[in-house]
Structure 1
């Protein structure tokens, strides 16, 4: 069997070792005579999986004890609503930094809940960069500041994170969580759909500072209240058990290869391979993101014209590359090189890009 060079933006590549482990345990999980998918979420067998996933995430990201880890459903898209519903009080203003489509969608949902303010935006330049910290202008009575740490469509990423006294920082890290070490204590809340770096789709990880739970209004629908899930260890209703199991396998894989520091090293190496080809192409390839804002997760680039782009993508498909089409907002191409994408795939793409340029 030949594995595809998977550059899909999400759901994305999973480590081969993880898939093989899941395959070996699929029918009979640890002698239970059942698949993980068949286990009761109240069973001791599943409870061990659930607790291991939480413990590994805390260990790998160095999450302090005054934070809780929740496993929810609905993806980041549901978090766009849950965040303001839980933390945007009457008389306060939710502040958002716009750096792409997902932050726009988060803002759209917050507007349905209460007052909002755009603290900074790079929309006028078609989101080619991340704002400088001094460009962020908070409103009065800020409930929180929301950012999107990595922008899959435009290929930009926060290289560092802003900090404002007495204003909680909330981040959508769906597409770069676990890709590099981060200081959790800079954030009041982090949420991330799993389907980029953590595992398959179906589970959303939420890391929140426990004191936030005291701010939640009492009249929220039960399932949209973070306290419901914190109080029940994310077991209030049936959780996405197989997705959480796969998450635990991915976290074990990260630990085995050397942790988040090793993952960061690999990601930087993969990204530099592709950005070097782009920068050394004399304009044949052009990166959408400006230097200093470039993502180590999503490398976005364009070719001289639409005809060449179509030829490039057709040739790439024949060569076994998957998921290189750029989003319509940017056009061109996008290589999503999340944690599980191997170095060999990036080297193969580099070689294809060089040969295609030489041919034309």
Structure 2
């Protein structure tokens, strides 16, 4: 039996769990690349494991994508997907590991109500479409053509068609925060051949190199963070900018200016603050597949073109005094990050801001009558909690 998992961590968990099962002798089979706290297998070690599996010393191979192609083990009569994958090619490759000499079985485990269901049906739909396309191609081959037509067609296709290796993410590694497991980005990265290592990341959601840290926000998350100050958007961005040489924010989704009844100027102001004040570039993405493609492109540029390593570093920092002062002032409704900074630069202290008169407050740039009245109400109003 071969058990396929999408992640090395999952392969380790499954292998350890099978140790307690009677009549099961399981071995973990992963790629050669060494990752954080996880040393890969050498080519010699891989060959030894396959040899022992063929000989029956191990009857269960718990493998990642490295076993999807190139293995010829006729005795394998069961392939189990620990979780489905949204790729018809990889699904077919996995299925092809069984049924070589006798009938084999395919079992796919799906967690009800989870992304597993979507991944399974996406793969099934793509596989069905591919089979229909292949059937149509076979029918077209029966049509007669003029002499030499077929040869010229094949030559043209070979000249224009990219090889599979040009699209492969072989050897690429991306660290992802474990809370991103449900986003679909990690599945899409794995489908592109990128090895995803799930970790608890203190800062950022994805780390494709030692200098690049990526924070991912859906449009809904981004807009919610502008309303709910507990989300600490600017605190996250500040940590990202301090920790990584090349910080990046990816905002995923559509209709950034048409949700949550937030004025477009407030959204533009937040984007300007992130890009100008914090120096963090912003990339817009249509969906999780587009996000994954962008992260894979960055990983390829960093790891293959620039020969940079993937390294985790940095912890979430406590806010510095200026940030705490800005946070206190900006906690008042209708006061954003920029206005809070203007007030503190003008008056010097939080206490001076709170004790300033309405007229004094209105001398500050971007502070109008309503904002000044709100500050005075908060600073001098009686507490009735």
Higher alpha-carbon Rg: 2
Higher RCO, 1 or 2 (CA under 8 Å, sep at least 6)? Answer: 1
Per the normalisation by structure 1, the TM-score is 0.33
Per the normalisation by structure 2, the TM-score is 0.32
